Amino acid sequence: MVEIDLESDGKRVEVYPVPISTHESAYGQIRNQIGIVKSGTGPCVLLVGGNHGDEYEGQISLRNLWHKLDPKLITGTVLVIAAANLPAVEAGRRTSPLDNGNLNRAFPGINARGPTESIAAFVHALLPTCDFVLDLHSGGSSLVYVPSIIFGHAPDPVVLKKQIDAARAFGSSTILSFESLPGAMNSLSGSAIAKGIPALASELGGGGSVDVSALKMASDGLNNFLCHVGVLRSSQPQAQRARTRELIIPDASHYLHSPGDGIFEPLVDLETHIQAGELAGFLHNVHKSFETPEEIRFNSAGVVVCKSARARVKPGDCLFHTAILA
* Mean pLDDT, the chain, whole residue set: 93
pLDDT of residue 273: 97
**Residue 108, preceding bond cis, omega within 30 degrees?**
yes
| Structure letter (DSSP) for residue 244 | P
The whole-angstrom separation of Cα 213 and Cα 137 is 15
Number of alpha carbons in the 13 Å side-chain half-sphere of residue 103: 34
Give this prediction's pTM.
0.95
The whole-angstrom separation of Cα 189 and Cα 180 is 12
pLDDT in tens, 244-300: 899 999 999 999 999 999 999 999 999 999 999 999 999 999 999 999 999 999 999
Residue type, 3: E
